[in-house]
A and B are shown apart, each in its own frame.
Chain A
Amino acid sequence: MENNNDQLPLWEVFIQKGGSPFKHEGSIHASDKNMALQNARDIYTRRGEGRLIWVVPSSSIAATTVEEEAEFFDPADDKIYRHPTFYKMPEGAKNI
């Protein structure tokens, strides 16, 4: 990652709360894994949020770009048959 200031490398922070899946919370700077975990703990779990933390170097994340948006996502816009809206829901099944 391009670093044109005196900050340490960037890491993305994911935290699991209760039984929910890990959720992206934000990012922090750190020079190694241990520091990244501690900084994530100090910044994102100070008020008792969270039971588990993942940290990932931001440079390791492959991401789509705004330029690619059309080819990645537009084809899904006009295909309503991909949504399961053509079935009758059985009575009593509320959370499908």
Chain B
Amino acid sequence: MTTKEALYNYVLRLADDNLILAQRLAEWCSCGPILEEDLAITNISLDLLGQAEDFYEYASELNGEKNVDELAFLRSEREYFNHLLVEQPNGDFACSMVRQMLFATYAKHLYEALLNSRDEKLVALATKGLKEVKYHFRHSSEWIIRFGKGTEESNVRTQNAINELWRYTDDLFEMNETDKVLITQSIGFSLKDIYPLWKAEISHVLDAANITIPELGNVITGGINGMHTEYLGHILAEMQFLQRAHPGAKW
């Protein structure tokens, strides 16, 4: 794998994470628990969509053949490199906020590491994204503390969410050939170094919320190699419908 190929895969991974989570959060539009949260959650969705677009533009540049729309809407399930966590269903509001916190914390530390990348474009995109994911972390982590210390029901629902989603967190730190190539070029960084930072921050929030991290044997991984849970196909069916039915359609 050449450095350029690895960089293309890596940028696609970043783009896919943002696009799929943006699509998931957009499902909350008009279904938020209160008007204010409805706007907040779709606002986060649009932040992520903006980041996805920037990463797809860079990927398109590296690829030289496919444009942004083709990358976003005309690949099949196995060609998406997003992590399993972001494709999981919204569940209740607590579940969506737990998913958001787990991912925002990951993105925050990843972007912070990428600020030191040898690839200038990645540095620029990480700088822009960092400001946004810091806010996403603040928003979601405060909800989790509020829920954890709220009523018995809100605590139980939040605990159920972490029990359900924790099995997908190891997947965030999986690495493959792509990472290996980029690490030797000082373009990417080892996720092994990011994991303790992520774990410490997550534990801090969950402790404050009286929520415990479950002990799980069966972790599920594979996202970065295109192996997904059953949910991604359904997301793509809905998300890609327009481009598939009307190829090249524009607003």
Contact = CB atoms under 8 A, between A and B. Distances in A.
Nearest to B36: A39
Nearest to A8: B34
Interface of B: prevailing SS = helix
Interface string A26-53: 0011111011001100110010000000
Contact of B34 (A7, A32, A34, A38): A7
Contacts of B36: 28-30, 39, 42-43
A68 B50 CA distance: 51
B142 interface: yes
B138 interface: yes
B154 to A, nearest CB: 12
A36 to B, nearest CB: 9
A41 to B, nearest CB: 8
B1 interface: no
Given A7-B34, A29-B35, A39 B43 contact: no
Contacts of B34: 7-8, 29
Contacts of A34: 142
A31 B36 CA distance: 11
A82 to B, nearest CB: 43
A8 B39 CA distance: 15
A50 B142 CA distance: 23
A49 B147 CA distance: 31
Contacts of B123: none
- Interface-central residue, A32, A39, A46, by most chain B CB under 10 Å: A39
Contacts of B39: 39, 42-43, 46
B146 interface: yes
Contacts of B43: 42, 46
A7 B36 CA distance: 10
Nearest to B41: A42
B66 to A, nearest CB: 32
Given A7-B34, A8-B34, A29-B35, A38 B146 contact: no
Contacts of B139: 38
B156 interface: no
A13 to B, nearest CB: 11
B40 interface: yes
Contacts of B146: 31-32, 35
A42 B39 CA distance: 7
Interface in B98-121: none
Nearest to A34: B142
A58 to B, nearest CB: 14
Nearest to A46: B43
A7 B125 CA distance: 38
B142 to A, nearest CB: 6
Contacts of A30: 36
17 contacts: A7-B34, A8-B34, A29-B36, A30-B36, A31-B146, A32-B146, A35-B142, A35-B146, A38-B138, A38-B139, A39-B36, A39-B37, A39-B39, A42-B39, A42-B40, A43-B36, A46-B43
Given A38-B139, A39-B40, A43-B39, 5 more contacts: A8-B34, A38-B138, A42-B36, A46-B39, A46-B43
